[in-house]
Amino acid sequence: MLLLMSNMALSMTRPGIYASIIFFVSFALLTFFQSRETARHLQEAKMDWLQCGADLAQALMSSMMCWMFFEMISMTMTMRGA
């Protein structure tokens, strides 16, 4: 991931784009599952606030990583198309 972000020439190659897409999909799935866990914790009668906060923080972090890879993919595709 660090190589994809630090080297523009590497991130514009086809394997770099495929790696970004794999990271995007994996972080999107992680966001979905963590959001589902957070919703499950919020519905419990006796809430564990620490676990609920940890799940919420994980969901927010993975959604931001997903957004970052989405922007990287869109930027790469825009630059390759020009």
Q: Where are the beta strands (DSSP E) in 1-82?
A: none
Domain assignment present for 80:
no
Rounded to whole angstroms, the Cα distance separating 11 from 68 reads: 13
pLDDT of residue 32: 94
Count: domains in the chain:
1
Domain assignment present for 81:
no
Domain assignment present for 79:
no
pLDDT of residue 36: 92
Domain assignment present for 35:
yes
Domain assignment present for 7:
no
Assign 77 a pLDDT band (cuts: 50, 70, 90).
confident
Total-model pTM: 0.76
Assign 5 a pLDDT band (cuts: 50, 70, 90).
low
Top mean pLDDT of 12-16, 28-32, 48-52, 66-70 is at: 28-32
Domain assignment present for 3:
no
Full domain range(s) for residue 61 = 12-74
Provide the Cα torsion 60, 65, 66, 69; round to 10°. 160
